[in-house]
Amino acid sequence: MNLLLKSKALHLKSEIKITGSKSETNRLLLLQALYPNITLENTSNSDDSEVMSSALSTNNQQPTTANQIIDIHHAGTAMRFLTAYFASQENRIVTLTGSSRMKERPIKILVEALKQLGAKIDYLENDGFPPIKITGQKLTNNKVSLPANVSSQYISALLLIAPKLQNGLELTLIGEITSIPYIKMTLNLLEEIGVETAFIGNIIIVKPKTQNLNPKTLTVESDWSSASYFYSIIALSEAGSQITLSSYKQNSLQGDSALVEIYKKLGIETHFDGNKMTLVKQPNFKPKPLNLDLNNTPDIAQTIVVTCLGLGIGCHLTGLHTLKIKETDRLEALKTELSKLGASISVTNESLTLAPSNKLNPNQTIATYNDHRMAMAFAPLALKTNINIENAEVVSKSYPDFWKDLKNLGFEIS
């Protein structure tokens, strides 16, 4: 499905409810599988969370020695979290597979770490990559180390199963740590259900909590990554435009809440009232080029660079090395698609530099590479020029209602 977004200046004053965070939902779904007394509210309706939920529900069946095949499609979080989960489930044999792109996304570092704990995992095609066959074991070792500059999802996968391990877990991270907010989110959610954790220097300790919990209801905060597209829309709208989003916390666990400070540099004020936040474009604000280290928040890089292009300012973004192994190589994808619009852009393995420019080539078709964030990051540019988004349905991976919400704001979509 291709969508044509027609350029239109909007003076906005709208309210949108955004579904629960995919990052929080997928962590809590795994904890709920380990501790069935947890009840979840405001969970994400994303494809990734549906896949995660569906895969975990297979464990409600009687333990079986039959090899069960679970296809997680494009869901990277599910691949990492479920690898750890099924490795710790005694008497279960599972094959985890996914899309052709998923089979190119490395998993060796996580598999090696799980093997240090006593897991039995075999590669079925290429060494270090899915599909993998997991034979669930009782994991009794409790010390493991892995490189700290890898995807934080490997680290979170280990931390999430840790309280159900007989001896808990002592995890040593080697080198400089990437995406610390996502690790802290995982630890905070563990603490919220009553698990003791400590994060000192490069060592993380999770104490065992093998017995069941008392019944507990947890409400998932809405997704900050999804909010990023509305920050971009307000930044590219007329002065005085505003959007109210819910449900958000001022002291969020999500790293992408850094949007509040980042977009302040682009003239956007964020006002909190209860569980709602309102984004307001300041009048007479002249944004300056951005120089940001996004080591902790790489998922909002696409949104930020597209906003800067729409505002005609340059940016230099670093800390982006994990974008090479996402749904696509996001750095190369950004370079290709932004260049179509007339941008002067250069990328390295971990950075991106955009030169300032006041000219946008109209009526360009943006390829999305099976990447939900490519589709959503480029959509706000319709406030500046007509734009065609290929395979627009990819947004369902994290935000199925995205196009409907844009139409409600007054975007012309056909």
Task: State yes or no: is 273 an active-site residue.
Answer: no
Count how many residues are written for the chain: 414
Burial 50-59 (b: 16+ CB within 10 A, else e): bbbbebbeeb
Structure token digits, residue 147:
């490189």
Write phi, then psi, for 9 (nearest 5 degrees): -75, 125
The tokens describing 139, both together, are 């994991």
**Could you identify the residue written with the tokens 């990554």?**
225
Of the candidates 47, 223, 256, 299, the residue annotated as catalytic is: 299
Tell me the C-alpha to C-alpha distance, in Å, between residue 34 and each of 9, 27, 161, 205, 266.
49, 11, 8, 19, 43
At 361, is the secondary structure helix, strand, or coil?
A: coil
Positive or negative, the Cα torsion across 188, 191, 192, 195?
positive
Of the candidates 375, 374, 324, which has an alpha carbon nearest to the alpha carbon of residue 352?
Answer: 324
Q: Which residues contact 41 (CB under 8 A, 6 or more apart)?
A: 217, 218, 219, 220
For the four alpha carbons of 235, 237, 241 and 245, in that order, the dihedral sign comes to negative
Q: Is 370 left (phi over 0), alpha (psi -120 to 50) or beta?
A: left
Burial of 227 (0-12, 13-18, 19+ CB in 10 A): buried
Structure tokens at 101: 């792109």
Active site residues: 299
